[in-house]
Amino acid sequence: MDACAQTLRVRGDGDAVRRRILAAAEAVFAERGYAGSTTREIATRASIHKRMLFYYFTSKDALYRAVLERVIIGMVAVHERSRQLPGPIALSDAVAGMTAAAASNLDALKVLLREVTDAGPHLPGLVREHLGPLFARGAADIERDVASGLLRPGDAMHALVNISGLTLWYFQLVPLLRLLWDRDPLAPETLSERVAAVSEFIMYGLVGSPVGGARRDRSSSRPWRAARRPRRGRRAVSHGK
């Protein structure tokens, strides 16, 4: 298909093509970082001509910014849904929602967390336009629930850091967990266990008990086991003399 024909087809299916470009960009930026990524490779993965990429995004930097904003907008949607629920239930729902959103957007999450840890050039703008207001609303919700007696008194920012840290940073540990655990850290069953464990941990800190006031039944929980164990009777290897 020549470039002119593709232009006409793409203009008639703009939203789908834009999503395809963003998905390809997420994968390439996650694999190679910003500096190592090219618009040519992104266009190839999106199955479009390079010039069509610039029809939707004016530059590589604009595309990168769109990738960051898309994952943050997803987090905002989780918070807006959760904040409609009573305090402890809202926090538990936020943990479940953030975990599900992260698990289904691993590439985009990796790009965002890299921008955060590297103090990237887009971070101040993302904080000003998206993350700052998100954390401000979250803190106001927690302070409201503390004032009404639903949550224990405490620093709202610490609570928000705990929630985001325990949910999002788990996914950064997946390569390590695959070596340590005897289970797939991204399997639905494991993620359900993770949501329950994080919710219980946070509820004990903010409420004093899990949601509903009842201790979670651990009879079905699997004990931690390392992924690899030395064979019985095998002599330990000494690294010293």
Is 232 among the domain residues? no
37/27 Cα distance (integer angstroms): 10
Residue 51 and residue 101 in one domain = no
Please give the Cα distance from 82 to 70 (Å, whole number).
Answer: 19
Q: Indicate the pTM of the whole model.
A: 0.80
Report the CATH number that the domain containing residue 50 is assigned in CATH: 1.10.10.60
* Structure confidence at residue 215 (pLDDT): 45
- pLDDT value for 13: 66
Question: Are 104 and 190 found together in one domain?
Answer: yes
Q: How many domains are contained in the chain? A: 2
Tell me: the pLDDT tens digits for 12-30? 567 899 999 999 999 999 9
Identify the band that residue 227 occupies on the pLDDT scale cut at 50, 70 and 90: low
pLDDT digits (tens, 9 = 90+) for 132-181: 999 999 999 999 999 999 888 989 999 999 999 999 999 999 999 999 99
Domain that holds residue 51: 10-58
Cα dihedral 75, 80, 83, 85 in deg (nearest 10): -110
Would residue 121 count as lying in a domain? yes
Q: In this prediction, what percent of the chain has a pLDDT beyond 70?
A: 81
